[in-house]
Amino acid sequence: MAQVVTSHRGPVTGTANRAKKRRPFLIDLYSTAVGKKYVMALTGIGMMGFVLFHMIGNLKMYAGAADLDHYAHFLQTLLYPLAPKGWVLWILRGGLITMFVLHLHAAWSLTRLNREARPVKYQSSRDYQIANFASRTMRWSGLIVLAFIVWHLLDLTFGVVNSEVGNMVQYEGDTEKIKAVYVSVIASFDRIPVALFYVVANILLGIHLFHGAWSIFQSLGWNNPRFNKWRRAFATGFAAVIVVGNVSFPVAVMAGVIS
């Protein structure tokens, strides 16, 4: 008969019979680690979609100032005149913020759970066999990308650290002035430290995606011998496309390809 050891997470020995908690379905699901991983994966998919379209949209930079500025104007006036200007964009942003907050909360609470699961660390060094740099550094790559996003918003969305943001420009054939986005991007990347931070953060985002995009399949239980071998290729390919696309912008500005 094993001794009864009680940790603050409940008795380790005893019986498995316990009362079923009655609470709303989604909260009940989210209260389990597996449920949190579903949230992690689903919000991850949503944000991957954003990152991909953000990168594709920014490729307009190579088509010139007018193309990029008109694309930005298109986003700000999505579905106008059906919806008032800016509304659809803010609804999309709301969804993005929600996914971001959920992803962070799930990561934070799972990390806490994992720390509790091994309060006494191994006293000798571990010899990891499969865990790679990406999977071992998800928390760090995630946190640095978070710091970058804060900077990125202050820089190119709110213009707190970029005096060019908010300038308007009128192109030939247009009836109104639109935001001069292109000029502010160039002004941002002309600062070498900012451009370097951008490059580093995007490489870390790629590393985060390398593990995250693969993990989605495991976490959601999308497992099928027919496509399993493509999961790694998909994650690597997706991460590579994002990194190459995003890193090309500051490099192009620094190299003088676009100015």
Partner 1 sequence: MSNTIKNITLKIWRQSGPAAKGYFETHNIPEITDEASFLEMLDILNDRLVTEGKEAVVFDHDCREGICGTCSLMIDGQAHGPQRGTATCQLHMRKFKDGDSITIEPWRASAFPLIKDLMVDRSAFDRIIESGGYITAETGGAPDANLIPIAKPIADAAMDSAECIGCGACVAACPNGAANLFTAAKVAHLNRLPQGQAERYSRVEAMVETMDEHFGSCTNHGECEAACPKEISIDVIALMHKDYRKAKFANRKDLARS
Listed ranges 74-82, 97-105, 109-117, 167-175: which one lies at the site for partner 1 (CB under 8 A) = 109-117
Q: Which amino acid appears at position 207 of this protein?
A: I
CB contact at 8 A, 113 and 47: no
Neighbour count for residue 88 (Cβ, 10 Å): 17
Measured distance CA(8)–CA(184) in Å, rounded: 53
Q: Are 254 and 186 in contact (CB under 8 A)?
A: no
- Check residue 218 for interaction with partner 1 (CB under 8 A): yes
Other beta carbons within 10 Å of 246: 21
Q: Residue 248 and residue 258: Cα distance in Å, rounded?
A: 11
In the list 141, 162, 215, 246, the residue contacting partner 1 (rule: CB under 8 A) is: 215
Q: Which stretch binds partner 1 (CB under 8 A): 71-79, 128-136, 181-189, 244-252?
A: 128-136
Nearest distance in Å: CB 40, partner 1: 9
Smallest gap from Cβ 11 to partner 1, in A, equals 9
User: Shortest distance, CB of residue 259 to partner 1, whole angstroms?
Assistant: 43
Contact mark string toward partner 1, 42..81, x via CB under 8 A? ----------------------------------------
Residue 118 interacts with partner 1 (CB under 8 A)? yes
Q: Taking the complex as a whole, how short is the minimal distance between the CB of residue 125 and partner 1, in angstroms?
A: 5
19 part of the interface to partner 1, by CB under 8 A: no
Which residues, other chains included, contact 220 with Cβ-Cβ below 8 Å and sequence gap of 6+? 38, 41, 42
Tokens 């994992």 found at: 114
What is the distance between the alpha carbons of residues 159 and 123, in angstroms, rounded to a whole number? 48
Cis peptide before 119 (omega within 30 of 0): no
Report in angstroms how near the CB of residue 238 gets to partner 1 at its nearest: 16
Q: For binding to partner 1 (CB under 8 A), which residues are involved?
A: 2-3, 5, 7, 9-10, 12-16, 25, 29, 32-38, 110, 113-114, 116-131, 135-136, 138, 211, 214-215, 217-223, 228
